[in-house]
Amino acid sequence: MSADTRKLIRIGLVGLGTVGQGVWKHLMAHKNEFEARIGGHLELTRAAVRDLELKREVEVPPQVLTTDPMDIALDPDIDILCELMGGTDLALRVTRAALQTGKTVVTANKALLCEHGSELFALAEENHTRIYYEASVAGGIPIIKALREGLAANQFPLIYGILNGTCNYILTRMQREGKGFEEIVDDARKLGYVEADEALDLDGWDAAHKTAILAFLAHGKWISLNDMPVEGIRDVTLEDIRLAERLGYKIKLLAEIIRDLKRDTVFASVQPALVPESMVLASVDDVFNAVSVTGDIVGESVYIGRGAGQDPTASAVLSDVVDAATALVNEAKNGLYHRKQKELQIAPLEAVCRPFYIRVVVKDEPGVLSEVSAILARHSISIESVLQTPSKVKGLAQLVMTTHSTSERSMRDALLEFEHDSCIQEKPFILRIADFEQSLN
């Protein structure tokens, strides 16, 4: 009987939390199937943890554990390092060291890639190795592979989606149950849906990190978070949700990447928006994510699935492990495909146009609506509809308006004028209306 000469690929995990344990569990359960697919052997060789004594849901031989992740990054026997620890400081040092020693890196760390992706991809190329990052965006949805491989023939004038399951869960329950933001957020905390740093979820930064990664993948440009308008959902009220329903919309925290193929500009944002009920994304609820990709050749395709959790994220990590191991077994020399673009400019706010929803509290007296309309008209903003609703405070009224398509610049300038108008009693609240046919002038 001939000896088994198939290549052995050794894997080290840095981080054995919820996702890391899911990766360990499913790799061990499906090891034979994975090995048949890659044509080699897989071995979970080492794992770095914070606490050696911590009770875990998977059985890990104590001799493979270490508390120093740099041990794994510098171990010459490790072929693939799975960075699942989170954070950016130590994770950056570990990832750098792994790449410098020629290891393949698989990561689920969106913040790391958003802040240091340009450096890390250059380091991987310099050391003739690769970074895989399917799990960094939209959990179990294979959106990275779709953009990088399945849709590689396309340019992408529009990508938009729901990239944060926590915010989608909160907005869904507010709409479905008629409960306020704070009550639902408290439930989400108890269920473990909200990050320890709540601003990552509730203020939109988690979705912004993912948006930056998708923009790089689609257009070859890292967009700084300083160049990306980012807003969360804290100011969305139950009344906004009910008014949106009356107007035929649902409110979603929407990530957008808009590319003007003629002017070579790109614009990215993360903001709560009114999504028409006729659009597919309006029906994507609870902790699910969804991404719509429009290619200049293929047209629109939509991807929906669970955006977080142990199994969806572990599925994405293991998909990358299988791809990475297959490349190592076959001694593939070329790096992963990334788009090389000439330097794109960030689209100016004057060029980004869409309809808006405006909620504003005003004095309940004659002439106020005319004054509000005049402010908007001075900034070339045309009102499509107006609804006056009672205010809880005597002598005040609430105006809810939708506009025709106007630029982000015009709306910002109008809001500044509102702040100095004596008729306006509270800071106006605005939402974008998802109208992607008019997004760029």
Residues involved in catalysis = 210
DSSP 8-state class, residue 192 = T
- Between helix 18-29 and helix 31-38 the angle, nearest 10°, is 70
Name the packing angle between helices 310-329 and 31-38 (round to 10°): 40
Give Cβ neighbours of residue 280 (< 8 Å, ≥ 6 apart). 290, 292, 302, 304
* Residue 188 and residue 194 in contact, taking contact as beta carbons nearer than 8 Å: yes
**Rounded CA separation 137/163 (Å):** 7
- Give the whole-angstrom CA distance, residue 345 versus residue 324: 33
Neighbours of 295 (CB within 10 A): 20
For residue 325, which phi and psi values (nearest 5 degrees)? -65, -40
The structure tokens listed for 104 are 């393949």
By three-state DSSP, how is residue 311 classified? helix
**Closest by alpha carbon to 254, among 208, 286, 287?**
208
Identify each DSSP E strand in 261-391 by its residue range.
265-276, 288-295, 299-306, 345-346, 353-354, 356-363, 383-390
Q: DSSP label at 108? A: -
415 touches 386 (CB < 8 A): no
Per 3-state DSSP, the chain is made up of helix, strand and coil in percentages (nearest 5) of: 40, 25, 35
Q: Which of 201, 202, 203, 222 is nearest to 212 (CA)?
A: 222
**Cβ atoms of 290 and 303 closer than 8 Å:** yes
Question: Which residue, among 60, 24, 62, 65, has the nearest Cα to 48 in the 3D structure?
Answer: 65
Residue 438 contacts residue 354 (beta carbons within 8 Å): yes
What's the 3-state SS for 116-175?
HHHHHHHHHHHCCCCEECHHHCCCCCCHHHHHHHHCCCCCCCEEEEECCHHHHHHHHHHH
